[in-house]
Amino acid sequence: MSDSIRVFLVDDQQMVRAGFRMLVDSQDDMTVVGEAGDGAEAVQLIGVTSCDVVLMDVRMPRLDGVEATRSITAMADGPRVIVLTTFDLDEYAFAAIKAGAAAFLLKDAAPPELLGAIRAVHRGDAVVAPSTTRRLLDHFATTLPDPAGATESPDDRLAEVTDREREVLVLVGRGLSNSEIASELFVAEATVKTHISRLLAKTRSRDRVQLVVLAYETHLVGGH
């Protein structure tokens, strides 16, 4: 199908890749277009393979998923990356999210959850700050770098943000959905979407996960 979601698999275990391939290829709206056994191979192949979503393991030989994610998300019109890990609170997954991953899932997630994440990330939907991602950031908030001394601090990225947009950013950082934010602020959901679009543009954030990270880095969320 020409409009299928093109999925690329990255994992150092061949059996794991085979399982993901069977699951993805069983869907009418998605297809596996390639796979790699480590991050270095992934970066090389994805550079010449048209794909929409990457399922990325983080702990791999040669080049881990963190550096691979950083390289892939830096590509022009690069694919979205979903980080897969065995551990709920994993510093590698945290680092991958910081590197630009669009979502974070456990490898033991139910098949419908994984397939739903692929579709959501492909659509660019705002469902990529689940409670697991927020718990991950809560757990590692103390390891976030101090903005002081950076070339461009996270706080600098808030320079053009309005007070209302800052309120929205706080609620995004807390893991609220668009409808929950609309209810909290007594505004229409369409208004929330407008605020989030402006936040993405003003803060040069790729997606909602990066807004969540920014909320922690600027200590709007996290209690520092």
Closest CA to 71 of 32, 118, 39, 103: 39
Q: What is the pLDDT of residue 109?
A: 83
When computed from its CA atoms, the radius of gyration of the chain, rounded to whole angstroms, is: 17
pLDDT digits (tens, 9 = 90+) for 2-36: 589 999 999 999 999 999 999 999 999 999 999 99
What pLDDT score was predicted for residue 212? Answer: 83
Cα 224 to Cα 221: distance, rounded to the nearest angstrom: 8
What SS3 class is residue 80? strand
CB 54 within 8 A of CB 72: yes
At 46, list the tokens. 């994805």
Token digits for 207? 């997606």
Give pLDDT tens digits for 74-119.
888 889 999 888 776 667 777 777 788 888 788 888 899 899 989 9
At which residue do the structure tokens 């994805």 appear? 46
Higher confidence at residue 56 or residue 138?
A: 56
pLDDT at site 99 = 81
What was the pLDDT predicted at 127?
Answer: 46
Which neighbouring-strand residues pair with 82? Answer: 55, 103
CA 84, chain centre distance (Å): 11
Confidence of residue 134 (pLDDT cuts 50, 70, 90): low
| Cα 149 from chain centre | 26
